[in-house]
A and B are shown apart, each in its own frame.
Chain A
C-alpha cells in the first residue's frame, strides 16, 4: 500500500492548497490578534483550512470505490443558505432589529449622505467593466463598496457566484479597515478649516421621537420601496421587518433573539459556508487580487462621494450652518465604526467639536443607502445584462 492510499491528503496536497491554508491562518490571526471583523473572518479563515485539505469531507467528493458523490456539509449549507439567499436575508432581520432610526429622525437631511456615499459602487462597476468583467460580475464587484457584507453576498450569489469568495473576503476586510482608509481619504479631500467646522445640533440631540412614527416608518418604507422596485423587497423588506419587531414594543423577546441568537447563529454559518468557495482552484487567480484591489477602490470612492457631496452642499449654505465634510464619509454602511472614526477625527482637530450625533445619523442613512443600492442593482442589471 503506497502513500497515496494511506495518506491521500498529503499525497494530493499542492502548493496552492498550502497557500490557501496560509490564507486561512492569516484570516484567523487578523480576527483574533487585530480584531478585524472577527465574527466573519474567523469562521471564513477556519473554513478556508477545512476546504483546502485534499479529500476534505466538508466538501462534496466522489467516492473512488463507488463513483458516487458524497455530499459535504459545507456544500449542503451553501446550497441551502447562500444559493437560496436565506443566510444573508436572515442577517438582515437581525441588523434591522439592531438599527435605531431615531438619529435619522433627529437629523433627516443627513439621510442624503447615505446616497452620496454609494458612489464607489458605481464608479467601481464602470472600472471593472473597463477591465473586461461582464456587467453581472462588475456589479457584484462594485457592491463591495456598499460596505455591507450581507448585501454584497446577496448580489454576488445572484450575479457572480464564482466570485463570491473573494468578494466576501474583500467586503469584510475593508469594513474592518475603515479606520485606516477613511481618515487618509478625508485628509486628502478636506482642509483643516473644513475639518474644524462645528455642526449646530442643539435641540436635535434631545428631541424625543414618537413611538408611532418609529413603528410606521419601516412599514411605509417597505411599501414605497416595494412599489418602486419590487426586486429590492427581499433586502429592504427583511431589514424593515427586523426593525418593526424592534420598535413595535410587544415583541421584545423576539427582538432580542434576532439581535443576539439569530445574528450569532447565522453569522457563524455564513462565514464558514462562504469559505466553501475559497478553494485553491477558485481563489488563487489573478481575479482575486484584482477584486481585492477593486474593493479598496470602491471604499475610497464611497468616502470621496460622501465628502464631495458635503462640500457641494456647503456651497449653498450660510456661514455657521455649514456641514463638516467629514460627516459625508459616514454615509457608508459600516455602522457604528465610520461614525466613531469621524467623531474621533473631529476631536483630534478640536477636542470641543462633538460630531458623534450627526455622524451617527449619516451612518444610519448609510445603512439604508447600501440596502437601497443593492436593491437597485438587483433591479437594473437584469434589464441590461
Chain B
C-alpha cells in the first residue's frame, strides 16, 4: 500500500470521526436549546 493511500486512510478515519463529533455536538446543542429556550406557549402550559 502506497504512503498516499495510507495517509488517505488516516485522513478518512479522522474525518469520519470528526464529522460524527461535530454532529453529536450539534445534537447536544439542539437538546440544550430545546430545554433552555422552549416555545412560549409550552412554557406557559408547564407553569400552569
Interface residues on A, range: 35 or more
Interface SS of chain A: helix, strand, loop or mixed? helix
Q: Do residues B39 and A112 form an inter-chain contact, with CB atoms below 8 A? A: no
* A114, closest chain B residue (CB): B23
Distance (whole angstroms) from the CB of A297 to the closest CB of chain B: 14
Q: Do residues A104 and B30 form an inter-chain contact, with CB atoms below 8 A? A: yes
Cα(A84)–Cα(B19), bound, Å: 26
Q: Do residues B15 and A111 form an inter-chain contact, with CB atoms below 8 A? A: no
Near A by CB (< 8 A), chain B positions 1-48 give 2, 4-5, 7-12, 14-16, 18-20, 22-27, 29-31, 33-34, 36-42
Chain A, residues 109-152, CB within 8 Å of chain B (1/0): the string is 10110111011011101101110001100110000000000000
From the candidates B12, B27, B39, name the one contacting A122 in the complex (CB within 8 A).
B12
Interface SS of chain B: helix, strand, loop or mixed? helix
Q: Do residues B15 and A130 form an inter-chain contact, with CB atoms below 8 A? A: no
* B9, closest chain A residue (CB): A126
Q: Which of A15-23, A317-325, A372-380 contacts B (4 or more CB under 8 A)?
A: A372-380
Given A125-B8, A380-B14, A380-B15, A115-B22 contact (CB < 8 Å): yes
Q: Do residues A221 and B16 form an inter-chain contact, with CB atoms below 8 A? A: no
Cα(A264)–Cα(B14), bound, Å: 36
Distance (whole angstroms) from the CB of A356 to the closest CB of chain B: 20
Q: Do residues B12 and A126 form an inter-chain contact, with CB atoms below 8 A? A: yes
Chain A, residues 200-244, CB within 8 Å of chain B (1/0): the string is 000000001110110011001100110011000000000000000
From the candidates A104, A105, A135, A369, name the one contacting B8 in the complex (CB within 8 A).
A135
Determine the chain A residues whose CB is within 8 A of the CB of B31 once the complex forms: 108
Q: Do residues A134 and B4 form an inter-chain contact, with CB atoms below 8 A? A: yes
CB of A384 closer than 8 Å to a CB of B: yes
Among A125, A208, A376, the most chain B Cβ lie within 10 Å of the Cβ of A376
Determine the chain A residues whose CB is within 8 A of the CB of B34 once the complex forms: 105, 108, 209-210, 213
Q: Do residues B8 and A129 form an inter-chain contact, with CB atoms below 8 A? A: yes
Q: Do residues B10 and A210 form an inter-chain contact, with CB atoms below 8 A? A: no
Determine the chain B residues whose CB is within 8 A of the CB of A216 once the complex forms: 33, 37
Q: Do residues A111 and B23 form an inter-chain contact, with CB atoms below 8 A? A: yes
Q: Do residues B8 and A126 form an inter-chain contact, with CB atoms below 8 A? A: yes
Determine the chain B residues whose CB is within 8 A of the CB of A104 once the complex forms: 30
Among A126, A208, A221, A373, the most chain B Cβ lie within 10 Å of the Cβ of A126
Distance (whole angstroms) from the CB of A75 to the closest CB of chain B: 32
**What are 18 residue pairs bridging A and B, where the CB atoms are less than 8 Å apart in the complex?**
A111-B27, A111-B30, A112-B20, A112-B27, A125-B11, A128-B8, A210-B39, A212-B37, A213-B33, A217-B29, A221-B26, A221-B29, A224-B29, A228-B22, A229-B18, A365-B23, A368-B26, A372-B19
A115-B16, A373-B19, A376-B15 known; 10 new pairs, CB 8 Å cut-off, are A105-B33, A111-B30, A112-B20, A125-B12, A210-B40, A217-B30, A220-B29, A372-B22, A376-B18, A380-B15
Residues of chain A touching chain B, judged by Cβ–Cβ distance below 8 Å, are 104-105, 108-109, 111-112, 114-116, 118-119, 121-123, 125-126, 128-130, 134-135, 138-139, 208-210, 212-213, 216-217, 220-221, 224-225, 228-229, 365, 368-369, 372-373, 376-377, 380-381, 384-385
